[in-house]
Chain A
Amino acid sequence: MSTELPAKEQHKMNYVPGTASLIDDIDKKHLVLLRDGRTLIGYLRSIDQFANLVFHQTVERIHVGKKFGDIPRGIFIVRGENVVLLGEIDVDKPCDTVLQQVSIEEILEEQRLQQQAKQETEKVKMQVLKDRGLSVPKADNLDEY
């Protein structure tokens, strides 16, 4: 059996091989997706047993269509239960994406427009359903994004 794993995985089994641990992710740049739909990018500084995360030099990245905008946020402490997924960002890897970075104002504006459009379609849909005597309960309590 080959003992050679790809380089990236090798340094992961630092403390407790065979388990998943965030210890090896410390001080690295990460991207985290939260349950409320936000995307944060920052340096992971500290963790605890609940996977509460401390992010440093955090930036909230908003994506609308092909554009995105970064809002600097400083230090974030994320409660572990609100994390959907977390992944390391390889700073060395060349970044060739089709996404286009825009200013904060622009992206916020875009987001607002997107939300507006969404709401309008939702409204129309509800109206149509209502006309037919059907109703879809509003999923207020669900995590949606």
Chain B
Amino acid sequence: MFRFQSLDEDCTLEEEEEGLIEEEEEIDQFNDDTFGAGAIDDDWQEEHKRLAELDKRDGLGAEGGGGMGRDLDFGGAEESSSTLLTPSTGRPPLPSSLPSLNFAPSSRLPPLDSEDRGGGGDLVESLARFILDADPAIAGVGTTERPVPSLSSSGSSISSLQGLEPSRVLSRHSSMPQPTHLQHPPRPSQHQLPPGPSSSGLSSAAASPSMLSYQQQQHMLHRGSVPISQMNSHNIWDNSMGFGPVSMSPGLATHMEDSPLMSIIKEVGLPKLPPHGRNDEERDLSERVPPPRSSSPVIGSPPVRAVPIGTPPKQPISHSLNHQSHHPTAVHVRAPLQHRYPPPFPERLSPNTLLNIANSPLGRSPFPPGVGPVLSQIKRAQLLNSQVAGFPRGGPAPPMLPGGGGFRPFFGGPPPPHGHRMGPMPPHGPPNHTPPIRHNTTHLHPQHRRMLTQRMQSRGGDRGRTGGDRRSRDPYSNLMTQKEKEWVTKIQMMQLQSTDPYLDDYYYQNYYEKMEKRQEKERDSSSRKEHTTKLITPQVAKVEHTYRPVQFAGSLGKLTVSSVNNPRKMIDAVVTTRSDDEEKREKQVWNKRRQILYTVEKMYSLLLEVQDFEKRFVQTPEEDREALLEQHKQNTEQLCNSMREKEWEDRVSDEQCVMIMSVRKGKRLVARLLPLLPSAQAAAIVMAIARNLPALTKKDKQDQVLCWLVEPVSAVIQSLSSSALTDLLQELQGSEGQLATVLQNKFGVTLLYLILSEGEKMQSSDPNCQLMDDNRWTELVFSVTRELLSVSSSSLSAPLFTPANLLSLFSRYVDRQRLELLQNKLQITALSR
């Protein structure tokens, strides 16, 4: 060891200055080694020196660092070998030329093999060199003191090469330069080599030179041999491990002992050559996965997946375990989800094995379970079909393993078929269509689920039979595997995720609620248990939307990243008011309207929250319920207050009411609001409506939305006391000619009738009612009847409905003649609605 080192040291001393000079002249602006990563590490200096050294020494053009890309070219190899032959004496041949043989893809190996057997000294030589170079340790060793490879030796080497023990080959070559020294180290090492790589000849030798080489190298190193570094090797490993004759820097000295790099290499291994010899169809698709994306810093953005969601599931492959190693663990910031999607990669049990288990009573499959997976799509489909045709069609399909292998969020029952094996898929009834797969349908409405299972069971047999027959004759069916189908369905289900199902999927939820209610009515109590199960749709927890930009310590300012979830504010819009008088007036009108609209909107949102309160209450967990209740109370209060006057907190503001009702949406709002308000306030609002009815009707001419109010108003009226009722009637007739206007309007007439009917109800039900206490009621009714009679039939609008008891009401107050007239006019019959 020391011998070689000293040699190197000597060389270093001689050449160092020249190397240094070269350095300065060769400052390369674009080269990493000058400014980039290469410059930071110490290694480049040594490396450079080595490079310079070897360049100088060889006297041939340095071939730069591009050894890797070189294909083994026989012509070139031959040339290089021939050139190498020429410089004589103890000068080691140019390692830079060696890379031409270096790490050749294994595709070269077969020709090598053949060529080798064909003989030819040069070829053998190049071959030898190739092997040597493939093993950097040995190459290094070889090149330090390799004498000019003689043809004679190459002749003998042919047979040895054919001999095929790679270690033997290697040792052979290493023995060439240093017959004494290295023969022993490789020998013992060869026994320690794993049996695999050293199996067969040259091809394997070259195919796994890396494996071999590093182990060999290790031994070399431990022995203290000094291989020459691979100058132009593509591997930094090589350089750091090789010992150049140039330098014996302290950094490198550590490499002699167990270097950390060595240990790393031991663990990780070298970058693999594409193994052309192996079967291509088994190539793992995940090898082609793009490098792992850096995660988006935005919270709530979709997680970075190793393989994008849109990737279809892979075909089953033998070395499934490789998958795990190929998954880059993407680090992403992400709010915890309630549902996690299992990785699209292998489950523990393949569906094929499961089906085998499940269907073994049906018959033995002709293939043993250990059959390799290399069936193409068509073959698999055909296999399936043949199986389908073969098996008898008897009864319902065999039951699937319940919950076998673990549940996925959506698909229970057998786990999705990611096959480790591609054994035959025994049929289970019809191949595709009504298999009794019990999906995990807990997320579906129980009604749905029930229908589903019912249908499957009842129809699974007969329908499947006919369809299945046809499909069994189709040799191309089942090209789309179960796994793929589930993958597509999974994607569809993902789209159904929502944070707020009542918001996103309102119609589905409500429809099934209604159905449930209807079912409850129809069915007896015995089946009531089924209905109490809750409907669960895949829900994702609401993600926080706050985004604080990433900030690096010591940097100026923040990194602003604009993404879909965190759009950047582009324009700062500032509101400026113009103080033009004319425009002001016009604007005022607009502003008022806008104000009304704004108020209406705000009230609406409050209203919706209040109305949705119940639903949300049921759904929220226990802890949050208090808060929700609190909020609900606040909302209702706010709503109530909104209708009130500013000065007097008690009275309902007429003006406000009218304003709101002047807008179409406002009327609807009031209609929805009335049932929620406390009765006093509701009554007050109805009073206000009655009071201002003419104005309202005028505004409503276009919209005709007032009729929406009938229902809630009637509800309110029915809850009124007699005095209140009287007041209401009074309000209705308040100003001059009001009644006439009222009668012209549908809503007005309806309202009037409602009031009268209510009064009649009161009177008839309770003879002691206070309605008759003062004469107001009677007088009012009289005036109403007067008006009704006097007004022309054409201007009298038809009400929405005519209460039945109007007749009895009028009969109390008017004489027969008038009664008849009224009857005709109003078309009140005893049986009218």
- The segment from A5-13, A116-124, A131-139 that touches chain B is A5-13
User: Do most interface residues of chain A lie in helix, strand or loop, or is the interface mixed?
Assistant: loop
Q: Kindly list chain A residues whose C-beta atoms are within 8 Å of the C-beta of B486.
A: 15
Q: Kindly list chain A residues whose C-beta atoms are within 8 Å of the C-beta of B518.
A: 1
**A49 & B310 in contact (Cβ 8 Å cutoff):** yes
Q: Considering the complex, give the chain A residue whose CB is closest to the CB of B516.
A: A1
Within 8 A of A (CB), among B102-160: none
Q: Considering the complex, give the chain B residue whose CB is closest to the CB of A13.
A: B452
In this assembly, does A30 line the interface, its C-beta being within 8 Å of a C-beta of chain B? no
Q: Considering the complex, give the chain A residue whose CB is closest to the CB of B431.
A: A27
- The segment from A16-24, A58-66, A101-109 that touches chain B is A16-24
**A43 & B476 in contact (Cβ 8 Å cutoff):** yes
In this assembly, does B508 line the interface, its C-beta being within 8 Å of a C-beta of chain A? yes
Cβ proximity bits B511-533 to A, threshold 8 Å, 1 near / 0 not: 00001001100100000000000
In this assembly, does A141 line the interface, its C-beta being within 8 Å of a C-beta of chain B? no
Query: A15's contact among B454, B480, B485, by CB below 8 Å, is which?
Result: B485
Nearest chain A CB to B678 CB, angstrom units = 38
How many residues of A are counted as interface, with CB atoms below 8 angstroms from the partner's CB atoms? 27
Q: A16-B492, A21-B492, A26-B432 are in contact. Are A11 and B463 (CB under 8 A)?
A: yes
Nearest chain A CB to B512 CB, angstrom units = 8
Query: B522's contact among A1, A7, A43, by CB below 8 Å, is which?
Result: A1
**B492 & A46 in contact (Cβ 8 Å cutoff):** no
**B474 & A11 in contact (Cβ 8 Å cutoff):** no
In this assembly, does B470 line the interface, its C-beta being within 8 Å of a C-beta of chain A? yes
**B485 & A17 in contact (Cβ 8 Å cutoff):** no
**A27 & B478 in contact (Cβ 8 Å cutoff):** yes
In this assembly, does B493 line the interface, its C-beta being within 8 Å of a C-beta of chain A? yes
**B488 & A13 in contact (Cβ 8 Å cutoff):** no
In this assembly, does A48 line the interface, its C-beta being within 8 Å of a C-beta of chain B? yes
**A18 & B463 in contact (Cβ 8 Å cutoff):** no
Cβ proximity bits B415-437 to A, threshold 8 Å, 1 near / 0 not: 00000000000000000111000
Within 8 A of A (CB), among B446-480: 448-452, 454-455, 459, 463, 467, 470-471, 474, 476-480
Bound-complex Cα distance A21 to B519 (A): 27
In this assembly, does B654 line the interface, its C-beta being within 8 Å of a C-beta of chain A? no
Q: Kindly list chain B residues whose C-beta atoms are within 8 Å of the C-beta of A26.
A: 432, 480, 485
In this assembly, does A67 line the interface, its C-beta being within 8 Å of a C-beta of chain B? no
**B451 & A17 in contact (Cβ 8 Å cutoff):** yes
Bound-complex Cα distance A91 to B466 (A): 12
Q: Considering the complex, give the chain B residue whose CB is closest to the CB of A27.
A: B477
Bound-complex Cα distance A39 to B522 (A): 47
Q: A1-B518, A1-B519, A11-B459 are in contact. Are A18 and B488 (CB under 8 A)?
A: no
**A48 & B312 in contact (Cβ 8 Å cutoff):** yes
**A10 & B459 in contact (Cβ 8 Å cutoff):** yes
Bound-complex Cα distance A48 to B478 (A): 15
**B444 & A18 in contact (Cβ 8 Å cutoff):** yes
**B459 & A47 in contact (Cβ 8 Å cutoff):** no
**A16 & B470 in contact (Cβ 8 Å cutoff):** no
Can you offer 25 A-B residue contacts whose CB atoms are under 8 A?
A: A3-B450, A3-B451, A7-B463, A11-B433, A11-B455, A11-B467, A13-B448, A14-B433, A15-B486, A16-B444, A16-B493, A17-B444, A17-B448, A18-B444, A18-B448, A24-B433, A26-B485, A27-B471, A27-B477, A46-B479, A47-B488, A49-B492, A56-B476, A57-B476, A91-B470
Binding site for B on A (CB under 8 A): 1, 3, 7, 10-11, 13-19, 21, 23-24, 26-27, 43, 45-49, 54, 56-57, 91
Binding site for A on B (CB under 8 A): 310, 312, 432-434, 439, 441, 444-445, 448-452, 454-455, 459, 463, 467, 470-471, 474, 476-480, 484-486, 488-489, 491-493, 496, 508, 515, 518-519, 522
